[in-house]
Amino acid sequence: MGALFGLIIAIGSLVGGFMAMGGKLGVIWQPWEYVIILGIAIGTFIIANPLGLVKDTGRASIEAITGRVPKRSDYLAILGLLYALLRELRSKPRNEVEGHIDTPNQSEIFTAFPSVLKDKELTLFICDYVRLIIIGNARPHEIESLMEHEITTHKKDSLKPYFAINTVAEALPALGIVAAVLGIVKAMGAIDQSPEILGALIGAALVGTFAGIFISYALLSPLSLKIKSTREKQTRVYIIVKQALIAYMNGALPQIAIEHGRKGISSEYRPTIDEVETATTSGSRVDDVKEAA
């Protein structure tokens, strides 16, 4: 909602300010100038990026606009799942835990936390490293290094839409000039017309420059930064898993290991110790734990 509210303010200020100066909206409504600018921008974007990234950019844009980032209840679910797995590792033979890792969709532990299970990448990440713990031959610092490498790779891949849109945003002012030049060429073809007609054609050409700059700095650049912030927050859950699992491998009790993970959560969404204790030890479902206001 914040992104949409900001967009309304930006466009409202533009239109309102222009009209307050005595401008007529019809002057800046030059659809073919916008077609030239946006058409070239979209075309070059598709040329420069593989189809998978084009689709991911669409998903990333929707996530950024809707603010789809992990909330407090999501973090509680992750901590609750990790606690249940670590408790199983500590209290039962490790071969009994393999069933939860091999088929998480059928595991009582994973199915108790549907918000985690529906994230296939995160579920696979947890299962892979719990499986390494079960094997028991890997050293904690080796697992930590492997986790950091995977998280870094995941973060780079998740931020590709940010770089792709930012590249287009940087090019848009120049594309606006292209549209403006074409408009001037058209105006020069009517140099023998009256000043009123010629002035309207030149004004329409200049709209191209305005549109390129406005779309770049007021729309796409903020969108790319919003995508970056959103994807970085989504990647944060992997760091929480890493902190908890490494703490357990270094000898921490499950509850202490979970606290290592909790400390990695941003203060904006970090649940309290009491909330985590309720989610992990009371036997209640995480979905029943109310988020703080």
Tokens 């290592």 sit on residue: 260
Domain count across the chain: 1
Give the separation between CA 105 and CA 278, rounded to whole angstroms: 24
What phi, psi does 289 have (nearest 5°)?
Answer: -85, 120
Which DSSP state fits 112? T
Check residue 287 and give its pLDDT.
40
HEC-encoded secondary structure of 51-99 = HHHHHHHHHHHHHHHHCCCCCHHHHHHHHHHHHHHHHHHHHCCHHHHHH
Distance from chain centroid for Cα 76: 20
Question: Cα–Cα distances in Å, from 246 out to 151, 177, 260, 263?
Answer: 14, 54, 9, 14
Is 269 inside a domain boundary?
yes
| Position 19 in a domain | no
- Cα dist from 253 to 96, 167, 239, 260, 285, whole Å: 19, 47, 19, 11, 22
Q: Is residue 110 one of the residues assigned to a domain?
A: yes
Query: pLDDT tens digits for the chain (293 residues)?
Result: 677 788 888 888 888 888 888 878 877 888 888 999 999 999 999 999 999 999 999 999 999 999 899 999 999 999 999 999 999 988 888 778 888 998 999 999 999 899 999 999 999 999 999 999 888 777 889 999 999 999 999 999 999 999 999 999 999 999 999 989 988 888 888 887 888 888 888 888 888 899 999 999 999 999 999 999 999 999 999 999 999 999 999 999 999 999 999 998 988 889 888 888 887 765 444 344 434 33
Question: 27 and 203 in contact (C-beta within 8 Å)?
Answer: yes
| 9 in a structural domain | no
Residue range(s) defining the domain that contains residue 56: 28-293
> Which pLDDT belongs to residue 284?
40
pLDDT of residue 47: 95
Residue 4 is assigned to a structural domain of this protein: no
Residue 1: what pLDDT? Answer: 64
Helix (H, G, I), strand (E, B) or coil at 269: coil
Q: Would you tell me how many other CB atoms lie within 10 Å of the CB of residue 290?
A: 9
- The alpha helices in 159-272, defined as continuous H runs, are 160-188, 195-214, 221-249, 254-262
The answer to whether the beta carbons of residues 172 and 208 sit under 8 Å apart is no
Among residues 172, 156, 157, the alpha carbon closest in space to that of 52 is found at 157
**In-domain check, residue 191:** yes
Q: Is 136 left (phi over 0), alpha (psi -120 to 50) or beta?
A: left
